[in-house]
Amino acid sequence: MRPVILDVDPGVDDALAILMAVHSPEMELIGLTTVSGNVPLDQTTENALKVLELAGRTDVPVCMGAAKPLVRQPHYTYEVHGPEGLGAADLPDPETMPAGDAIDFLIENIEARLGEVIVVATGPLTNLALAEARCPGILSHARRLVIMGGVLHEPGNISPHTEFNFHADPHAARLVVNSGANIALVPLEAARQLWLEQDLLLQRLAGREDALALFCAAATQTVMAFETQRYGRKGMHLHDPLAVGLSIFPELCKVQPLWIDVEPDGELTAGQLVVDRRPFVIDGHLVGNQVECAVKVDVPGFLEVFLDRLLK
Ligand code: BDR
Ligand code: CA
């Protein structure tokens, strides 16, 4: 079993990623850290607690992290994830409470198991950046950071050149990418290959009236309506579950090592991932850090594992 911390901003696809993780025996889920992202921090934290309670996993601590990006103002995505971040789902108020500070939790757990902990980050990277700032070098003591964020060359999903998680806190993304940590990146190009058809989900939910199935049906409604309008097909992309999948089944993605950095400040480009492909510059002098980027996803293989784990 691999020790894993999920750093999340639930968010519908974060919630699906959490459910996939708690039902994956390959993972020792040591905790969730929450960050401001799709919705404000109080709400992402409440949502994380609710989803763990739904799954009967109140043994997994939830620690609260950053309430705002390092420099920029928060940018919420209610239109994608609904007014409370979990679509049309209406889970009971949580009975459990947050267990502490996310930055301390990240530092303490990475330090306690040097080179072992995998951090899967599916929101803005503010918590990871603050951990690195508080304890320089800490991120390179994680076994790996698996990050959903950035877009390599396709159009962005929040601005012409940016993906939401990097756009929401570009200064944090830059700091983490340049931390020297071992990073596997799930850019938007990879996530865009992974489409969950609404009909496929409905087929798998047919005849089920349990709380988990009802949650999956209701939570996905808002994002499916949004993405159906945007892409002309009924369904949604599985950005964040892909990061969880990559952390336990690396064979599900073909990866390519690329030198990347992040533009922190441009008026039109803050959060843009910059790929240095200059063939005439030797490796150590390319910008940023070398990162393994997922470029090709085994979609049927992933969907099988995802649906199996999600609906356990
Ligand atoms: C990312 O943005 C968020 O809205 C999703 O949860 C995902 O982490 C995709 O760009
Ligand atoms: Ca997310």
C-alpha pair distances (Å), 180 with each of 3, 50, 122, 125: 21, 34, 19, 15
**Residue pointed to by tokens 């301390």:** 104
Report the separation in Å between the CA atom of 193 and the middle of ligand 2, taken as the mean of its atom positions.
17
**Alpha carbon of 146 to ligand 2 centroid (Å):** 13
Query: What's the pLDDT at 312?
Result: 85
Domains of the chain in sequence order: 2-310 (3.90.245.10)
Q: Which residues of 252-275 are buried (b: 16+ CB within 10 A; e: fewer)?
A: bbebeebbbbbbbeeeebbbbbbb
Q: Determine phi and psi for 72, rounding to 5 degrees.
A: -80, 170
Indicate which residues carry an active-site annotation. 239
What does the angle CA 291 – CA 293 – CA 295 come to, to the nearest 5 degrees?
Answer: 160
This prediction's pTM: 0.97
CA of 80, closest atom in ligand 1: 4
Q: Is the CB of 163 under 6 A from ligand 1?
A: yes
Write the CB contacts of 163 (distance below 8 Å, at least 6 apart in sequence).
149, 150, 151, 156, 157, 187, 188, 271, 273
pLDDT, tens digit only, all 312 positions of the chain: 999 999 999 999 999 999 999 999 999 999 999 999 999 999 999 999 999 999 999 999 999 999 999 999 999 999 999 999 999 999 999 999 999 999 999 999 999 999 999 999 999 999 999 999 999 999 999 999 999 999 999 999 999 999 999 999 999 999 999 999 999 999 999 999 999 999 999 999 999 999 999 999 999 999 999 999 999 999 999 999 999 999 999 999 999 999 999 999 999 999 999 999 999 998 889 999 999 999 999 999 999 999 999 998
Is the shortest distance between the CB of 263 and ligand 1 below 6 Å?
Answer: no
Query: Which run of H or E residues covers position 48?
Result: helix 41-54
Q: What is the pLDDT of residue 284?
A: 82
Q: Which pLDDT value is given to residue 283?
A: 83
From 153, 145, 125, 122, select the one nearest 295 (Cα to Cα). Answer: 153
CA 194 / ligand 1 centre spacing (Å): 13
Q: Residue whose CA is closest, atom 4 of ligand 1? A: 38
Residue 75 region, left (φ>0) first, then alpha (ψ -120 to 50), else beta?
beta
